[in-house]
Amino acid sequence: MKALSVWQPHASLIAIGAKAIETRSWYTKYRGPLAIHASVKLMREQWRMCMHEPFRSALTGAKLLFLDGHGIKDLLIIPTGAVITTCNLVDVRYMLQGKLYRYENGAVIAGGEIPMPGEPELSFGDYTPGRFAWILKDVQKLPEPIPAKGQQGLWTVPPEIEVIITNEQGL
């Protein structure tokens, strides 16, 4: 099984079904099962992002962010350094002129383009022209995060972790 390391809170947004498109600067021909790994670090910028809309509502609704109502203590409970969900990568589209285009062999293919997503999906990604939209379907959050060391790019899940994923999801 292939995997992709994703910064938090984006990995958790995928796991809870709030984010169906992962934006990347690079294209892949790969289509199929994909494990989403939550990167180890949660930088200050990502923490701040969680406190603002639409991230705040999505994470609070999924019980991953707890606010005390007085601004004294906010608690963010999102896993890091672990595989947290699986999905299927069904398409990769090129972003140009406010639409998502088919892309093959290094070229944009006219016809069949689709519009950019609306909110909150638009706020959950970087839709700068020239980037790629990875379309994710069939998201299945794992019952428990599986600790794993991530990597850059697409990587192969170690066999011992793939066995746990398969057992937990009844595959």
- What is the pLDDT tens value at each position of the chain, 171 positions in all? 999 999 999 999 999 999 999 999 999 999 999 999 999 988 889 988 998 999 999 999 999 888 776 655 667 789 999 999 999 999 999 999 899 999 998 899 988 899 999 999 999 999 999 999 999 999 999 999 999 999 999 999 999 999 999 888 765
- For 23, phi then psi, to 5°, come to -95, 140
Specify the pTM. Answer: 0.92
pLDDT tens-digit readout, 12-37: 999 999 999 999 999 999 999 999 99
- C-alpha closest to that of 84 among 27, 132, 39: 39
CA distance 45 to 169: 33
Which residue carries 């670090």 as its tokens? Answer: 41
Helix (H) or strand (E) holding 37: strand 32-38
Q: In the chain, what are the domains?
A: 2-92+132-169 (2.30.130.30)
